[in-house]
Amino acid sequence: MVTVDKNMPILIVDDYKTMLRIIRNLLKQLGFDNVDEASDGSSALQRLRDKSYGLVISDWNMEPMTGLQLLKEVRADAKLKLIPFIMVTAESKTENVIAAKEAGVTNYIVKPFNAETLKQKMVAVFGNF
């Protein structure tokens, strides 16, 4: 069983400051404190290229680069393609889920969500912690 390194760097991406704070707080409740933030897909991509992350949690709806575009960029990059990527969205439309899966998303969370939901999604990615 792989044990999750609670010190691993996690990148959270959202253009809405309040949402960044909420996700950061939920991660903190789960014992993850090493969290960086990006407010859009392009700055997230820059951070990902500058530093090694153990997980990306990204919002779908962002300008100018959406979470889906970010995911596609990450999966197309040989150095980044294996990073677990959890997409956060207010939309649970089937076509969105399918598009994200086709683009290589690791898991998917529909807003609003709590620490327990986030934990379940992370357990699905990493195994128990």
| Structure tokens belonging to residue 47 | 């951070």
Phi, psi for residue 55 in degrees, rounded to 5: -165, 145
Model confidence pLDDT, tens digit, residues 53-77: 999 999 999 988 999 999 999 999 9
> In the structure encoding, which two tokens stand for residue 16, read together?
């809405």
How much is the average pLDDT of 19-31? 97
Look at phi and psi of residue 31 and say left if phi exceeds 0, alpha if psi is from -120 to 50, else beta. Answer: left
Q: What tens digit of pLDDT does each residue of 29-48 get?
A: 999 999 999 999 999 999 99
pLDDT of residue 120: 96
Residue partners of 38: CB distance under 8 A and separation at least 6: 11, 12, 13, 44, 46, 47
Q: What is the pTM of this model?
A: 0.95
What is the band of 129 on the pLDDT scale with cuts at 50, 70, 90? confident
Taking all residues of the chain, what is their mean pLDDT, rounded to a whole number? 94
Question: Would you place residue 82 in the very low, low, confident or very high pLDDT band (cuts 50, 70, 90)?
Answer: very high
Distance CA 8, CA 103 (A): 24
pLDDT value at residue 93: 87
* Longest CA–CA separation in the chain, Å: 39
Q: CATH number of the domain at 10-126, please?
A: 3.40.50.2300
- Quick check: 52 and 75 in contact, CB under 8 A? no
CA atoms within 13 A on the CB side of 113: 24
For residue range 99-115, list pLDDT tens digits in order. Answer: 999 999 999 999 999 99
